[in-house]
Copies of this chain bind each other. A is one copy, B any other.
């Protein structure tokens, strides 16, 4: 039986920091340097976080994380993959997230998608996520995907990956 891998969307498949940076610039004329954001959560990094994240198409047009299509294809051939995304906090994101997955990852079926509020009751062998609070409630192997907000997080229970190439080497 294949091992079960839970893959997060925002900050793992979707490059939400770059989406915020683009929209702060386009909508509000605010220029923010990606490399200046280490250790800063989105809510603090982006002055217009609330209006941007609630805006139409924020999730629908998010850029892909580099290498995520090839990387997820590799995982999907080798493991039982579920995409597990915190989504119910932003109800309008639900359909956008599913459409975004359908567009960029057509090999992922609707049977593999989970949109939730808390990931606590969702189990598997391996979790790839950028948020410590998701990893800390998970009982399998915990892989933290580097994002600015977790840049300084150290936890010996995690294995850290910085990009999708490192995921495919590790798994």
Contacts and interface: CB of A to CB of B under 8 A. Distances in A.
A87 B123 CA distance: 19
Interface residues of A, number: 26
Interface of A: 4, 6, 82, 87-89, 91-92, 94-95, 98-99, 109-118, 121-124
A142 to B, nearest CB: 16
Number of copies: 2
Given A94-B94, A121-B4, A115 B112 contact: no
Nearest to A91: B98
B113 A116 contact: yes
Contacts of A112: 117-118
18 contacts: A6-B121, A88-B98, A88-B115, A89-B110, A89-B111, A91-B99, A94-B94, A94-B95, A94-B115, A109-B117, A111-B118, A112-B117, A114-B121, A114-B122, A115-B116, A121-B123, A121-B124, A122-B123
